[in-house]
Amino acid sequence: MTSFEQLWADLAAIGKDPSSGGYHRGGWTPTEREATGWFLDQCASRGLSVESDGIGNLVAWWEPSAQTEGTPGVVTGSHLDSVIDGGAFDGPLGVVSALSAVDRLRAEGFVPSVPIGVGAFVEEEGSRFGMPCLGSRIATGVLTPEKALALQDRSGVTLYDALARVEADPDRVGPSSLLARMGTFVELHVEQGRALTAPVGVASSIWPHGRFRFTFTGEANHAGTTLMEDRHDPMLTYAMTALAANKQARLAGARATFGRLSVEPNGTNAVPSQVTAWLDARAATAEVLESLLAAITRQATERAERDGTTVEMVPESVSPIVDFQPGLRDRLSAVLDGAPVLPTGAGHDAGVFSDAGIPTAMLFVRNPTGISHSPAEHAEMDDCLAGVEALATVLKELSR
């Protein structure tokens, strides 16, 4: 049995930037494919049978007997892709922990009554094609194949072409047969804030959240000869909107982040003609999120009128609140000796599967600094091992 530490070290070497220490594993890129190859090798070495769907979601099954083959079971796992220059733990911790938990149960001689699956779901972060939880959204039918395959990355490559380049079959993309066997789903994940003070916790809910594209349009002009009062500068409108988003989020106890920007013509000595900015907004309730967006958009529009520019806001993805089933949530907290229960502002595949009607739960492993989506993301090894033990306990409970 390969130790968790060794599995972790082997996977952590894939896609790591030697200069920043961050990870670059965008969907269907060479580094993400290498990580997927590692996962398939690990499954093969354990004799797990792997099933895949058209988009590339994978579930490897531990079938306890011939009588249970093909029947629904308990699935655990997470994702292997990363945000741009992301941390090591977001996603991969859940996959490595799942393999280690299966190893632990086998070593104990435990025989489940239903199959146990280890899942690796694609493009959860949406760092390449801009759509978070892309694999699970397609699998559940939330996103149609037509819309999904037309998505483009920053180089203009469509998802259809990206799949074809890795010898996948884009024509098979659609709702997944994998879900028919997903009787229960449990995702272990590093906690992405600093609310968890115990080694392991249980998720209560996922905040509603979304990505919203703001397009600010003005008039290109010369930076040196155009009088300040003659300008129609969309960068000024954007800058005020970013400040407004920060203020409104603080007032509402919500989250608002402009983290991506595109400027045209993007010249040092030119007033921009257009600024496109992507807002990530999250709140504890749908009402607060709607109020936050309304306030930001209103202030952006008012500023645009003063600047002689225009602004358009388009939602690119919106996820409603996810309240994990209280019965399952409380059952896991109890079997883990009263593990704390807490909400999260981060989106996960678990939220998509829960919305699809699959009984779903999440376990969190403590993050001592609360830093995530950064090379500084971290979890102590003792807490990671506690997470493996907790996941094994949960799998045993749910698969009896």
Q: What is the mean pLDDT of residues 80-97?
A: 98
**Contact residues for 18 (Cβ-Cβ < 8 A; gap 6+):** none
- Residue 373 pLDDT greater than 90, yes or no: yes
Taking only the tens place, the pLDDT of each residue in 325-361 is 999 999 999 999 999 999 999 999 999 999 999 999 9
The answer to whether the predicted template modeling score (pTM) of the entire model surpasses 0.75 is yes
Taking only the tens place, the pLDDT of each residue in 227-237 is 999 999 999 99
- Residue 391 pLDDT greater than 90, yes or no: yes
Burial label for 55, CB within 10 Å (0-12, 13-18, 19+), is buried
Mean pLDDT score of the chain: 97
Q: Which runs of E-coded beta strand occur in 233-273?
A: 255-264, 270-271
Q: Calculate what percentage of the chain has a pLDDT beyond 90.
A: 97
Q: What is the mean pLDDT of residues 114-135?
A: 97
- Residue 1 pLDDT greater than 80, yes or no: no
Residue 355: predicted pLDDT: 96
Q: What is the mean pLDDT of residues 281-304?
A: 98
Distance (Å, whole) CA 292 – CA 207: 14
Domains of the chain with bracketed CATH: 4-207+321-398 (3.40.630.10), 209-319 (3.30.70.360)
Residue 177: predicted pLDDT: 93
- Residue 400 pLDDT greater than 90, yes or no: no
- Residue 67 pLDDT greater than 90, yes or no: no
Taking only the tens place, the pLDDT of each residue in 19-65 is 999 999 999 999 999 999 999 999 999 999 999 999 999 999 999 98
- Residue 176 pLDDT greater than 90, yes or no: yes
User: Of 174, 111, 166, 118, which is closest to residue 147 (Cα–Cα)?
Assistant: 174
